Amino acid sequence: MSLRHREFERIRSVVGGAGADEPLTAREILGILEDQGEEFDSAHEVATILGRRAETGEVEIIRDRPYRYQFDDEGA
């Protein structure tokens, strides 16, 4: 399992466990991760990981300002 895959699963698990059921910005996701003791370098790192997963359909990117991310419930 690749490092990026594990990071994505960690993000999805923590955000899902926090009960977030609406689209969130990368900064909001980073805040949830930090509140749960997870360490990521920046909102940009979170956005990069989620953006790569959007290519496979596991994350939907809502291209607004700011971008928001919604997880595919089937993968949780």
Q: The domain spanning residue 25 has which CATH number?
A: 1.10.10.10
Q: Which residues have a Cβ under 8 Å from the Cβ of 62 and sit 6 or more positions away?
A: 23, 68, 69, 70
pLDDT, position 56: 92
Residue 34: give the domain boundaries: 3-75
pLDDT tops 60 at residue 75:
no
Domain count of the chain? 1
- pLDDT, position 2: 74
The model's pTM is 0.88
pLDDT digits (tens, 9 = 90+) for 13-67: 999 998 888 999 999 999 999 999 999 999 999 999 999 999 999 999 999 999 9
